[in-house]
Amino acid sequence: MPRYEEILGRYNEGRVVEKKVTEVTSWVQMSGPWMIRCDDEAKSGDKGLWVLFDTERNANSSWIGMWGPGYKFKPDPNLWIRNDLTNSYVREKDYS
């Protein structure tokens, strides 16, 4: 899967981990206010990387897996546009 994590540091006696996350997607389409990005595996129906961006709320989420059956919308298999993008961000996770 094209999501890579690199540990940048550990804090609070190792219980808080700071990671650099890099996500690589190759396909994009719009569905209402949602911009949907995915990798080749997700587009073909297998487990893959999905990235959703809500243009109304300016919020995003991503996961590796299948498209969730609980979503009220689905990607249209005929609307995919090839658009390679690499996005990196830093996050912290508390394991205490």
3-class SS of residue 56: coil
The pLDDT score that the predictor gives to residue 39 is 97
In the chain, where the domains are located: 3-94
- Condensed to tens digits (0 to 9), the pLDDT of residues 53-86 reads 999 999 999 999 999 888 888 899 999 999 999 9
pTM of the model: 0.86
The encoded tokens of residue 2 equal 């094209």
Longest dimension (CA), the chain: 50
How far apart, in whole angstroms, are the C-alpha atoms of residue 49 and residue 5?
14
Average pLDDT over residues 25-43: 96
The pLDDT score that the predictor gives to residue 45 is 85
Q: Read off the pLDDT band of 1 (50, 70, 90).
A: low
The pLDDT score that the predictor gives to residue 68 is 82
Average pLDDT over residues 36-44: 96
Instruction: For the chain, give the percent of residues with pLDDT over 70.
Output: 99
